[in-house]
Amino acid sequence: MVERARVAVVTGASSGIGKAIAKAMAQQGWRVIGTGRDPERLAVAEAEIAAEAAGAPVTMLRADLSLLGGAAQLAQDIAALTDRVDLLFNNAGGMTDKLVMTDEGLEANFAGNHLGPFLLTQRLLPLLRKAAQDQPAGAVRILNTASDASEMIPSINLDDMQNLERFSPGMAYCTGKLANVLFARALADRLAGEGIVAHAVHPGAVDSNFFSHAPADTQARSRGLDKASEADGADTLVWLATAPEGAASNGGYWYRRAPRTPNKLVEDAAIVDRFWQESEKLIAAHGR
């Protein structure tokens, strides 16, 4: 019987940490399905990864995860390529310097950092569950790229997670990154016993184009940070994808290959549950 290549889906794979993740997984022999918004960067990344991974199967798909329609279509496109997903890296995200509303009527920062990945993950659950059927418990994993920005806010307004009433770019970004950690914990709760685990990872400050659309003061502060390479930023995510430590726990928050204490809100089961419910309401209210 021919062993099938394991499948890793990496969002935001056309540059930065995502491209480093995709490259590392391809070099380990995984079939990689990457996503991004810019067709030219996707084509360059696909060729680069394939060349450095000895011809490992790599497919890049165009998708804008700030649009729920884009997330739903991406799930369909992935399902047309494979009947299983062993690893899902929810890595795509970003930061805006002002309030931007998508064509679907959602705040772009929160939509791209959380709601799109939330919907994509839900739509890919059948493929993740299919992979879990023939793998040891915990081998199938969902990994969210978060940030220590998730630790910087003392509360979250679950009635206005988009921060529309009192919007600021910094608060919006921190809320979106907290959502990544809350989402991992909520997934762990809901998928318990199914052989699928979920974790969030703070990659550290990385020398990439991530801050290019951030507010001017954030860009100025970022220039003073000691930044890691893209490969170093991806290291914990790549390690956690297959390390035994990833299967030994669930719903964790990691930094530099070690557990990190999350925002205290993540430890509140009532907040985690309500966060999930409000995320579903937002998606349903916008036709998904």
Provide long-range contacts, Cβ within 8 A and 24+ apart, for 214-219. 214/95, 214/96, 214/97, 214/169, 214/173, 215/95, 215/97, 215/98, 215/169, 215/170, 216/97, 218/95, 218/97, 218/169, 218/170
Helix axes 230-242, 16-27, angle to 10 degrees: 50
What angle do helix axes 116-132 and 68-81 make, rounded to 10 degrees? Answer: 20
CA atoms within 13 A on the CB side of 147: 21
Residue in 173, 183, 210, 211 annotated catalytic = 173
Measure the CA dihedral 241/50/63/40, to 10°: 140
| Bridge partners, 10 (sequence order) | 34, 89
* 173 annotated active-site: yes
Give the residue from 110, 138, 272, 258 showing the smallest Cα distance to 194. 138
Distance, in Å, from the CA atom of 20 to the CA atom of 112, rounded to the nearest integer, reads 20
Catalytic positions are 173
